[in-house]
Structure 1
């Protein structure tokens, strides 16, 4: 049976674009898997919001993200692509980061070229490390993996800082340094997306087009036409959860009555099915 890393690598090079919903905890991972997702994406932004309730401003530690990846990968049977931020330090830090993510069950990671303190790719006022430094990080990432199939994606945030030309030049350098795929974050126009797809057509391409972000919201079929291989929905589910939970908590606090919410929440039986209660009961009987 192929490893999850092998499956992820193969899907990045298939003819059809693969869709990767974002998950920030094990329950979201289970739900995404049940919905038929082939690849799960662990977004640093979503993990930051979930772990410490704050923004994606480099506040989350490597250990906190790895813990989430371990929990998610342990709850599903799907490849997990994880956001490893800037690798949490220099090239030596990146080496350890990749080892920890791989041990936690990730099938691949992306490492970005932002300078510390890093932040969400769709925020303003970012800065970048020199190309040579990022290339060293990518070589360290590739050397660190125990399974050669483990996928190392190079993310560049250069579009907003240095422009589209620099983003493409950096992407080329990162592939030469060993990256298996490229993720040009926050392209600002459809023309940017088209140019990236044209000029990096020989490289597996990852793209994220979040609602409210800087990138035009194009559907998967159009992105596939432009040459993209993996479409992330990094924080879509979490943003939906924010809206729903805000309404639910407000209603509970104001009314003290959950009866009007029953058409908006899962039944007791649905929750038990999603969490696999029957399977655990069978194991309980077997061992009891």
Structure 2
């Protein structure tokens, strides 16, 4: 049996897909009495957050449910830094057993998937002049904070958010997975084929694959199933479409171990001898957070005695 193999070193260096963008925002609301029983909305603030270095790293080696675990609120005023791992002055935290979760995608440009997480503190559970907020993996004040923000007013200036003993605090966080719009162009050398030009572009941008999964979680950024890729004879399309001429799905997929600080996850898909017998023009890769399509020029020939292995990288960064 002959194996066609695109060397991993070329994929890692030359054929990197555009990075998936990550950003988030908080919504704070306070009610007179219990919100669920008709308590009056007294005030609300919505503002962006900073995903910390720890937070970016966690997307590579933790399931989604192990990130959306706790809200922290505090009274610190230091400007958030990418190196933060805790609030400056922790006041209270709420764990995920009290969360509500949902996910959605935008139907038009700018394309993005969204995970929304909310929690309601009991009346009197949080009392004080709040100035900072974050998300952590644990409700206790440990060094696991992966998102931090100062509370901002409508003009974007730091402000206080006072909560009294007879008031209820409701906190919502929206994590956005921003679909990249730029193409990644590269050239790779393939044994038996020679130099091949590649174009990698986002795929199926309005599909829920771009929404960070909540509820069941995901098993890390990267491939999650054997049929994680599809082979096609047609050219890649725009970011909302799919190539024509479906040949077959991959027989298996695998992920390399995540390296701390890498902010990418390498993986591979394998098309066995029985998967298809034709020339590959393009391939679609589905990951746990996003999907991409790659076009090869010239086409990659494959017969029914050959195995085709394609290496791919999912990368992410702050949007």
TM-score (norm 2): 0.22
- Greater fraction strand: 2
The structure with the largest helix share of the pair is: 1
- TM-score, normalised to structure 1's length? 0.24
- Whose radius of gyration is greater, 1 or 2? 2
Task: Tell which has more relative contact order, 1 or 2 (C-alpha 8 A, sep 6+).
Answer: 2
